[in-house]
Structure 1
Amino acid sequence: MRTNNRWTVSRDTLFLGTLGMGLIAWLVRRQLSGKKGDSHLERKTHSSSANPSEHGHLTQPAKRERNFVKVMQEKGRRVIFFYGSQTGTAEDYAARLAKECTKRYGVSAMTADIELYDLSYLDTVPEDCLVFFVMATYGEGEPTDNAVDFWDLIMEEAVEFSTGKEEAPLKNLHYLVFGLGNKTYEHYNSVSRTVDRRLTELGATRISERGEGDDDGSLEDDFLAWQEKMWPAFCDALGVEEGETSMGPRQLVYAVEELTSYDMDLVYLGEISEQLQNGAKLIYDAKRPYLAPISTYELFQQTNDRHCLHVNIDISGTNLSYQTGDHVAIWPTNNDTEVHRLASILGLMDKLDTVVMVKAADSASSKPYPFPVPSTYRAIFRHYLDICACPSRQTLVSLVEFGTDDQCKSFLRKLATDKDEYRKMVGDPVRNLGEVLELVAATADIDRKDRSGFFASIPFDVIVENMSRLQPRYYSISSSSKESPHVISATAVTLEYTPDSTAGRVVYGVNTNYLWRVHCTANGVDDGRVYPVYDLDGPRQTLWDGKVAKLPIHVRRSQFKLPRNPTYPVIMIGPGTGVAPFRGFVRERALQKREGKEVGPTLLFYGCRHSQEDFLYADEWPGLFNTLGENSHLITAFSRDSSEKVYVQHRLQEHGEEVWALLQQNAYIYVCGDAKNMARDVNQTFVHLAQQYGEQMEQQAHEFVKNLRTIGRYQEDVWS
């Protein structure tokens, strides 16, 4: 940017420059309108490749058609279900809706990953077709990673669709929306609400009310309740009736074939990413995680059953980078105890190493393969399916027909249709599919030793169809990118609990206990306890060579960022592992201070149970805050060190006058940790401070805090 400089340009030069810039803009615009999304597709090919064919040979990927309307017409589909999914739940719901659409109403449908198609063709959807949007909200009201392009398109002030029409360009579009969110977050379901609003503003017609699901408690029930009103409107819009489709064989979603001929080098044994095409540039991202060398040390250990690990992840020599406040994704491995449980009752124990090809039965599917294939049953259970999650009621409905007798079918049907029974037997005790099937088998009065193969009648494609894909677990990065650009730090507490009174039954966190076993193996630790068994070597021994442990990781960007101006004060509230990103924040501000920069006051409100047991990074804080100076300090709340429990919100209220003074100096607020209780209580405390020290009425105080969020001075990185 030029400021206070005198410079001149001849008219000819100015004219030619303007003409040249206009020509370039026209060419770019023409290319984008003619091949919209090609640059995005090219970027994706760096991290994805063709799947091996049925015989294990790599095939050259055909260029994907980006015009979804053209695909629908070629495949004879009247309905398309787009999904914006971060963890796979929205994708699962879209698949379930598409299946019901065809099975119950005889209407041909397809599911579509929203990032794989050009949504500027929405204005060409025929009036007799329907478009569904199943959209999850991520973070602070943000779209999921795969929905960013669509979000950017519809949020443009003057949206340009394929036909170039400006007034009510979507007047022929009929659509439906179901959103997935969490009520503990400030921006509950804001993505689905915004998508709905923008589509309506652009002239589209929603044919039934928008659905909203709450992941904090009633997502499945919300989804089913929405369908009760949605399907009748669906029938009216398309002129169909339930039961129009003829009753025939079960409709396949996936075709499964056990292979007898294959190249073992091309069989996936748990690799997350597909094989790289010859000549393709290696780029690590969510589609191609990096197998990063790690080192770990234990921050605390409580009564031998709760451990906290500090994990250092080396990303040097890669294209990966991060910014302070980002998240690191770690891809877990299911434990073999649960792998064997599920394989046994499905009658697959003797076939775990059999090579299988799994592919979508629908040729129009935007994802022809559910995971890298060909693979083995063992690898699929270990690395690709979320076998430790509770099965949904819809999943149990699909299994009823495979019950071995009327008693088993009746029990499964009750679990699937009676939400109280489901909550008591599946939800509250957190039983996974293998455990539920064992529970059902027990109703047949069969000894445990005879339960192997009890549900061998369930086709494997049904299992693949009804189980979510194993997803990475995200951790707030606890290091500073300015101080440590090539090493990412994460902080993780092992999770295990006994949700019911069943003797000896423990539920283990999928990733945290995997990390703990990695730590124990790499550091020769033996705490004397019995844990589930994990395959720590990884696919083809790529995760452990006897000396260095590795983890598949990628980085996810976050909006949880320090102010650009370091002189602004910051107020951080983070109990437990919620302090993780604030370690990075404080270290970064201390580094800036050492570099001679002016750094504003830095307050950290930290809480844990005991000052001598679970005080995270206790040895680091004194030196860091000494560097930051007397205007910065750590304020602690140890809830179990006294008879009266004290939490961070109490300390925040005690220091209210100081906090309020900093807010008048443009201070930024950061909250990290539990969304359901802590984050709400902290929010309410700031409302009280506005009333007490700002002399505001209650409604004014709420508006004051809300405005801080709107302008980015109140940020949260919370979970439920």
Structure 2
Amino acid sequence: MLNKPSGYADYAAITAFSLAWGTYLLKGKAWDRPDPYHHVWFEKPQVSDAAASDGVKETRDISQKLQETNNQIVIFWGSQSGTAEGFAHRLGRECHSRFRLHALVADLSDYDMETIEHITKETLVVFIVSTFGEGDPSDNTAGLWHWIRSAKASLNNMRYIAFGLGNSNYKYYNKVVDVVAESLNAHGAQQLMPIGKADDAKGATEEDFITWKENLFDYFKRNLGHQEYDMVYEPSLLVEPDTSLELIDLHQGEPVLEAKALAGSSAIRPLLIKDMRDLFDTTADRNCLHVELDLSDFPEIGYKTGDHLSIWPSNPNAEVERVLDQLGRLHEADVPVLIKSLDGSKVKIPTPTTLSALLQYYLEICAPVSRETAAQLARFAPTKTSRLFLEDVSRNRSRYSAFLAATHITVGRLLEISTRSEPTTWSSLPLAFLLDVFPVMRPRHYSISSSSVVSPRTPSITAVVSQATIPDSIGGQITIPGLATNYLLAHHVKDKNGYSLLGPDAALEGRRVYAQIRKSKFKLPALASQAIIMVAAGTGIAPFRGFIQERARMQRVGKACGKMILYFGCRSLEEDFIYREELAQLQRVLEDQLSIVTAFSRHEGKKIYVQERILEDSERISSMLIEGNANLYICGSAAMAREVNNTISSMIQNVKGWTDGEMKDWNETKKKTRKFQEDVWG
């Protein structure tokens, strides 16, 4: 027979025992839980922040920074893809090499924008800013964009010059640089030169920058009294071998990003390719890949319908070997190298690393070579013949355009062609020069073509593998192979010779790619009952596949869905009507809630585009947009989006009898309330 507890001592002992037993049972649940990110301690860091690592906190006051560095020029850059950033650094280096002027190249997001008010009139201010989407500023321009349009600052001491990057296929071509200049002028700043503008739609971004830069330097001489000197190459980086480094110390090709570059995105992870198929099964010369990735190994990563998936490609093996061979450094491919900044700027390339990792994973060695780069290469030419060739081909814009039109020239191929008559190596070409002219490798972003409700752990993308063409200045076309899509195609056909599919240190073994999820505002309305109109051409159908999948799932579980119309344009019914059978099946589920209208541009000798189908359907579209307040979505090329925009605006304006101003107000209200969304590219 058990004894009953008696007295406070017995009760205290029982209580203590119960607490201890309960605590033990809750181990791993309420306490001592395993850290899901414990593995991160054993990984190489993905986030590089030099300022944090050395304990030095950089000032966010640009006027203070200029006083500390004693620079005569500050070049602010706002860039989404890296082009404006590259131009800013090139301009800064050339200001010093040609005029001995010290320039601070500044990321707009590194400084508090209200401090530009204190920049003295002795400092020349240059803005190089890009416009993307429908008149949107780059992410790092957001601070300037909001401050300059709302601040009550006095900028009477500011002297500035501005250059914008844009694409005339978009409705608001170079809007950002225009707004920045108008706002600066309104606050009393002095604009020294007309605004320079680059137009990517004409393939003229590089040449437009060169023309503007030469006009700027002419202004330096004529109006500001600066003396021009003979140009001497001044590297911004020091690249030196260090054989004392061990393999474990090196960045071997894994993507590395600064913390602010990861904003709005997941971590970069080696994601398994779960499925991959070619949607153009009847077309021999074109491929359209449907790629499904598996998030199962990384529970911390998720996505939402309408988000983007970013793929980190690698360069083709042949191009890597070509550059190493031309430099005479094939035997040094795996020698560890350290990269250090010589001008105080941040080193954008992971270091320490190796030459092979630099050329395979960290630099865009397949990018077209600018005319200016070709001219600069001439000074390092190993023979007189190669020097004369480079000087001749880069002499003027039309000559170089004709040269590019004949072949897609990478740096490796240019070095090879220039010495073809007298084979030799470019052993005197500094590695630092290549790091200055090669863009840093960046991911390629794709609209996710699946629904997170239907496939929560397997996001998919849809990508056409094609030889992209851009117009040259003499009416021809320059062919440029797509880097990421050909990299994905190599995975599909298992071309291990063409690309390093195993990745750095075999991290991508088992058919994986480095990828990350990037958040997007391109979303379905919160209410499933809201009517939506979707307009797409080609792979622009990708996010709408996810939208329709999600609505079909809602329909299956008994949730009422609003009306949907999909206008889809492609070449022909047989050639590239992607997801045709799947869309038919979804239409059977959604019945009369989904209407699909097609436009074929190469079918039975006729050319019909989506905007024409919309015009034919004007009564229904007008009713849905005006009376029904439907959401409008456009995804595809900027040129297509512009035509669709114009067609719908003209149609609504005629129905309502509005003025141009009233039509503009309606459009802007639609966009501000997220009732009109676009996901377009150049």
For the 8 Å contact 1:603–1:632, the answer to whether it is kept is yes
Question: Which of these residues, 256, 263, 278, is aligned with residue 246 of structure 2?
Answer: 263
SS where residue 431 of structure 1 aligns?
A: coil
SS where residue 188 of structure 1 aligns?
A: coil
| Alpha-carbon separation, structure 2, partners of 1:285 and 1:688 | 36
**1:333-382, CA deviations, whole angstroms, 9 ceiling, x for partnerless residues?**
0010111112211222221112111222112x1x1x13001111111111
Report the residue type matching 2:275 in the other structure: T
- Kindly state the Cα deviation for residue 653 of structure 1 after the two structures are TM-superposed: 2.8
1:508 aligns with 2:481: yes
Question: Which of these residues, 159, 163, 168, is aligned with residue 183 of structure 1?
Answer: 168
1:225 aligns with 2:198: no
1:309 aligns with 2:289: yes
- Kindly state the Cα deviation for residue 466 of structure 1 after the two structures are TM-superposed: 1.0
For the 8 Å contact 1:429–1:499, the answer to whether it is kept is no
Farther off after superposition, 220-229 or 710-719: 710-719
- Kindly state the Cα deviation for residue 458 of structure 1 after the two structures are TM-superposed: 1.4
Match of 2:273 in 1: 294
% of aligned pairs identical? 34
In the TM superposition, structure 1's runs of 4+ consecutive aligned residues that sit over 6 Å from their partners are: 282-285, 497-500
| Alpha-carbon separation, structure 1, partners of 2:662 and 2:245 | 67
Match of 1:332 in 2: 313
For the 8 Å contact 1:51–1:372, the answer to whether it is kept is no
Report the residue type matching 1:509 in the other structure: G
TM-score under structure 2 length normalisation: 0.84
Report the residue type matching 2:75 in the other structure: F
| Alpha-carbon separation, structure 2, partners of 1:498 and 1:662 | 38
Match of 1:380 in 2: 358
1:90 aligns with 2:84: yes
Question: Which of these residues, 401, 404, 410, is aligned with residue 379 of structure 2?
Answer: 401
| Alpha-carbon separation, structure 1, partners of 2:284 and 2:553 | 36
| Alpha-carbon separation, structure 1, partners of 2:497 and 2:290 | 22
For the 8 Å contact 2:561–2:593, the answer to whether it is kept is no
Report the residue type matching 1:469 in the other structure: V
- Kindly state the Cα deviation for residue 129 of structure 1 after the two structures are TM-superposed: 0.8
| Alpha-carbon separation, structure 2, partners of 1:701 and 1:275 | 44
Report the residue type matching 2:212 in the other structure: W
Match of 1:694 in 2: 655
| Alpha-carbon separation, structure 1, partners of 2:529 and 2:231 | 70
For the 8 Å contact 1:175–1:204, the answer to whether it is kept is yes
Report the residue type matching 2:481 in the other structure: Y
| Alpha-carbon separation, structure 1, partners of 2:657 and 2:248 | 69
Match of 1:605 in 2: 567
1:169 aligns with 2:142: no
1:558 aligns with 2:520: yes
| Alpha-carbon separation, structure 1, partners of 2:328 and 2:156 | 53
Match of 1:130 in 2: 124
CA separation of 1:486/1:283 partners in 2, compared to 1, >3 Å: closer, same or farther?
farther
Match of 2:198 in 1: 213
Report the residue type matching 1:480 in the other structure: S
Question: Which of these residues, 125, 144, 153, is aligned with residue 147 of structure 2?
Answer: 153
SS where residue 201 of structure 2 aligns?
A: coil
Counting only pairs closer than 5 Å after superposition, residues 622-661 of structure 1 correspond to structure 2 as 622-661=584-623
- Kindly state the Cα deviation for residue 667 of structure 1 after the two structures are TM-superposed: 2.2
Match of 1:543 in 2: 508
Report the residue type matching 2:487 in the other structure: Y
Match of 1:420 in 2: 398
CA separation of 1:571/1:226 partners in 2, compared to 1, >3 Å: closer, same or farther?
same
For the 8 Å contact 1:483–1:588, the answer to whether it is kept is yes
Report the residue type matching 2:251 in the other structure: Y
| Alpha-carbon separation, structure 1, partners of 2:384 and 2:530 | 68
Report the residue type matching 1:49 in the other structure: S
Report the residue type matching 2:312 in the other structure: W
| Alpha-carbon separation, structure 1, partners of 2:540 and 2:469 | 24
For the 8 Å contact 2:238–2:339, the answer to whether it is kept is yes
SS where residue 340 of structure 2 aligns?
A: strand
For the 8 Å contact 2:266–2:518, the answer to whether it is kept is no
Match of 2:106 in 1: 112
SS where residue 300 of structure 1 aligns?
A: coil
| Alpha-carbon separation, structure 2, partners of 1:343 and 1:718 | 37
SS where residue 131 of structure 1 aligns?
A: strand
Question: Which of these residues, 544, 558, 574, is aligned with residue 582 of structure 1?
Answer: 544
- Kindly state the Cα deviation for residue 550 of structure 1 after the two structures are TM-superposed: 2.2
| Alpha-carbon separation, structure 2, partners of 1:629 and 1:287 | 37
Report the residue type matching 1:309 in the other structure: L
For the 8 Å contact 2:73–2:103, the answer to whether it is kept is yes
Match of 1:273 in 2: 256
SS where residue 216 of structure 1 aligns?
A: helix
TM-score under structure 1 length normalisation: 0.80
For the 8 Å contact 1:181–1:189, the answer to whether it is kept is yes
CA separation of 1:654/1:90 partners in 2, compared to 1, >3 Å: closer, same or farther?
same
Match of 1:32 in 2: none
For the 8 Å contact 1:207–1:234, the answer to whether it is kept is no
| Alpha-carbon separation, structure 2, partners of 1:619 and 1:104 | 62
CA separation of 1:227/1:597 partners in 2, compared to 1, >3 Å: closer, same or farther?
same
**1:410-460, CA deviations, whole angstroms, 9 ceiling, x for partnerless residues?**
321233231111111125633211222222223xx23xxx35x1x222111
For the 8 Å contact 2:450–2:546, the answer to whether it is kept is yes
**1:374-402, CA deviations, whole angstroms, 9 ceiling, x for partnerless residues?**
11111111111111111111211211212
Farther off after superposition, 468-477 or 287-296: 287-296
Farther off after superposition, 115-124 or 701-710: 701-710
Report the residue type matching 1:242 in the other structure: Q
| Alpha-carbon separation, structure 1, partners of 2:496 and 2:611 | 36
- Kindly state the Cα deviation for residue 47 of structure 1 after the two structures are TM-superposed: 5.5
Report the residue type matching 2:253 in the other structure: G
| Alpha-carbon separation, structure 1, partners of 2:257 and 2:175 | 34
| Alpha-carbon separation, structure 2, partners of 1:690 and 1:51 | 53
SS where residue 96 of structure 1 aligns?
A: helix
- Kindly state the Cα deviation for residue 604 of structure 1 after the two structures are TM-superposed: 0.5
CA separation of 1:348/1:424 partners in 2, compared to 1, >3 Å: closer, same or farther?
same
- Kindly state the Cα deviation for residue 51 of structure 1 after the two structures are TM-superposed: 6.5
Match of 1:71 in 2: 65
Q: Specify every segment of 5 or more residues in structure 1 that has no aligned partner in the other structure, as ranges.
A: 1-44, 53-57, 160-165, 277-281, 522-529
CA separation of 1:686/1:701 partners in 2, compared to 1, >3 Å: closer, same or farther?
farther
For the 8 Å contact 2:241–2:335, the answer to whether it is kept is yes
Match of 2:187 in 1: 202
| Alpha-carbon separation, structure 1, partners of 2:250 and 2:45 | 20
Alpha-carbon RMSD across the aligned residues, in angstroms, is 3.3
For the 8 Å contact 2:156–2:189, the answer to whether it is kept is yes
| Alpha-carbon separation, structure 2, partners of 1:215 and 1:465 | 22
Report the residue type matching 1:675 in the other structure: A
Match of 1:461 in 2: 432
Q: Specify every segment of 5 or more residues in structure 2 that has no aligned partner in the other structure, as ranges.
A: 1-43, 472-477
SS where residue 673 of structure 1 aligns?
A: strand
CA separation of 1:659/1:565 partners in 2, compared to 1, >3 Å: closer, same or farther?
same
1:476 aligns with 2:427: no
Question: Which of these residues, 513, 517, 520, is aligned with residue 493 of structure 2?
Answer: 520
CA separation of 1:48/1:107 partners in 2, compared to 1, >3 Å: closer, same or farther?
same
| Alpha-carbon separation, structure 2, partners of 1:230 and 1:75 | 23
- Kindly state the Cα deviation for residue 198 of structure 1 after the two structures are TM-superposed: 2.6
Report the residue type matching 2:350 in the other structure: P
| Alpha-carbon separation, structure 1, partners of 2:362 and 2:45 | 22
1:618 aligns with 2:613: no
Match of 1:353 in 2: 334
For the 8 Å contact 1:273–1:287, the answer to whether it is kept is no
User: How many pairs does the alignment contain?
Assistant: 628
